[in-house]
């Protein structure tokens, strides 16, 4: 599908994008897009995913959606990075090769440090090490961000419990976890160790066996929304919360690791009307990004961060969630209620605008 230049620029203007770059290398078969949304706070940081998109337009929409979310995630996490994302169009199992990755790495290097990338869906830590043979603008090559993402969600769930029930203890709390991959599985382990009752599901049934052995119960994927629980934790695909699934929820809190959990902002309003507390995804799942950013910043200073140092930074997710909840609560009774989703966006935008005003101050060389 061909992209019309005018439509691309209209999309960029509507979503406030700075730069979108298309890369093509016929000798390696590379077709890639890097989207840089906002660099007010610093260079754009975001993973590169490899996916077999149905069309070039689908790839463009996806990379723009993900890059914009990275801007808000980095800003809300208090990081000195902007938001960006890369996508390589192709089947990672069939089309990925060393020369293709190295070609992509050279193009990333050509951006001069405006975009720093890391692993994502369809790419691996080893792929990032291949990129490093062509560019120094790669992060997360010495740590696995997944455990830090899970730990951030774990801390966030405790903040939600404190806000809703006045007690952060997980002992006896029932959590329904959708998706037990690297992040969801680690979250389940942390929850079980804390005394929680956990119900799990996954489209890959083989993944759930070890968690059942650890004490979790299992339901089929389609039944997870209807589980009577305290916390529903989506940790798989995005867009799972829509008008159809929300009306089936039997929980007090939604707090999980999946990206872009809400199909639309109207779903956040629906959750609020139902009295269900929603922990905005890019606030609660920022642990991996925090870890990758820490590793990159420390590497530039010639040192490695300790696990304890990263964990302390990740634990601040709790403070940011509490601020979001207070912002939302303060609007109760007003004509226009601010959902927690909208409050998270306001928090991120406020930090970006403050930095933008600061950059307007002239500093002599």
Q: What is the pLDDT of residues 97-128, one digit of tens each?
A: 999 999 999 999 999 999 999 998 899 989 99
- From the list 273, 324, 287, 275, the residue with the least C-alpha distance to 159 is 324
Structure tokens at 199: 């119900």
pLDDT at residue 365, rounded to an integer: 62
142 or 188, higher pLDDT:
188
Structure tokens at 46: 């975001």
49 or 300, higher pLDDT:
49
Mean pLDDT value of segment 294-302:
91
In the chain, % of residues over pLDDT 70: 97
Question: Quick check: 216 and 196 in contact, CB under 8 A?
Answer: no
Q: DSSP label at 173?
A: -
pLDDT band at residue 156 using 50, 70 and 90 as cut-offs? very high
pLDDT band at residue 186 using 50, 70 and 90 as cut-offs? very high
56-76 vs 5-15: helix crossing angle, rounded to 10: 20
Burial class (CB in 10 A: 0-12, 13-18, 19+), 335: exposed
223 catalytic? Reply is: no
pLDDT at residue 319, rounded to an integer: 96
- Condensed to tens digits (0 to 9), the pLDDT of residues 273-290 reads 999 999 999 999 999 999
Per-residue CA distances from 215 to 119, 197, 223, 229, 281 (Å): 32, 8, 19, 16, 27
Q: With 90 as the cut, is the pLDDT of residue 142 above it?
A: no
Q: Where are the beta strands (DSSP E) in the chain?
A: 19-25, 30-38, 44-51, 82-89, 115-119, 174-178, 197-201, 217-218, 231-234, 253-254, 277-278
Q: With 60 as the cut, is the pLDDT of residue 2 above it?
A: no
Of the listed ranges 187-191, 302-306, 309-313, the one predicted with least confidence:
302-306
Q: DSSP label at 263?
A: S
157 or 5, higher pLDDT:
157
Structure tokens at 253: 């809190």
Q: With 90 as the cut, is the pLDDT of residue 90 above it?
A: yes
- From the list 188, 1, 32, 42, the residue with the least C-alpha distance to 107 is 32
- Name the catalytic one among 31, 68, 73, 85: 85
Mean pLDDT value of segment 290-295:
95
Burial class (CB in 10 A: 0-12, 13-18, 19+), 326: exposed
Placement of tokens 């090769």 in the chain: 97
Domains of the chain: 5-71+81-131 (3.40.50.10860), 146-285+319-349 (3.40.50.720)
Mean pLDDT value of segment 11-21:
95
């Amino acid at each position: 599908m061909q992209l019309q230049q005018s439509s691309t620029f209209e999309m960029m203007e509507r979503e406030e994008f700075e730069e979108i770059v298309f890369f093509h290398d016929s000798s390696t078969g590379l077709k890639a897009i890097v989207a840089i949304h906002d660099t007010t706070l610093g260079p754009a940081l975001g993973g590169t995913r490899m996916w077999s998109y149905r069309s070039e337009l689908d790839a463009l929409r996806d990379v723009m959606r993900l890059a914009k979310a990275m801007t808000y995630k980095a800003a809300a996490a208090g990081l000195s990075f902007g938001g960006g994302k890369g996508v390589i169009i192709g089947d990672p199992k069939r089309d990925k090769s060393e020369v293709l990755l190295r070609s992509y790495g050279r193009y990333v290097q050509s951006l001069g440090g405006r975009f720093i990338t890391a692993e994502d869906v369809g790419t691996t830590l080893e792929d990032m090490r291949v990129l490093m043979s062509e560019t120094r603008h790669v992060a997360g090559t010495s740590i696995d961000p997944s455990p830090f993402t899970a730990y951030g969600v774990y801390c966030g769930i405790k903040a939600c419990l404190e806000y809703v029930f006045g007690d952060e203890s997980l002992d006896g709390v029932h959590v329904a976890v959708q998706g037990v991959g690297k992040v969801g599985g680690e979250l389940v382990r942390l929850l079980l160790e804390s005394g929680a009752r956990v119900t799990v599901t996954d489209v890959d049934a083989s993944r759930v066996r070890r968690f059942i052995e650890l004490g979790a119960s299992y339901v089929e994927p389609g039944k997870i929304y209807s589980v009577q629980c305290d916390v529903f934790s989506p940790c798989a695909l995005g867009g799972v919360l829509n008008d159809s699934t929300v009306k089936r929820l039997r929980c007090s809190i939604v707090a999980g690791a999946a990206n872009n959990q809400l199909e639309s902002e109207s779903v956040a309003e629906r959750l609020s009307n139902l009295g269900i507390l929603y922990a905005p995804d890019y606030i609660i799942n920022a642990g991996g990004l925090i870890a990758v950013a820490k590793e990159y910043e420390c590497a530039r200073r010639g040192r490695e961060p300790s696990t304890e140092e990263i964990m302390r930074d990740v634990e601040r997710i709790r403070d940011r969630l509490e601020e979001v909840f207070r912002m939302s609560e303060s609007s109760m009774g007003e004509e226009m209620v601010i959902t927690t989703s909208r409050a998270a966006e306001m928090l991120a935008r406020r930090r970006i605008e403050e930095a933008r005003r600061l950059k307007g101050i002239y500093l002599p060389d």
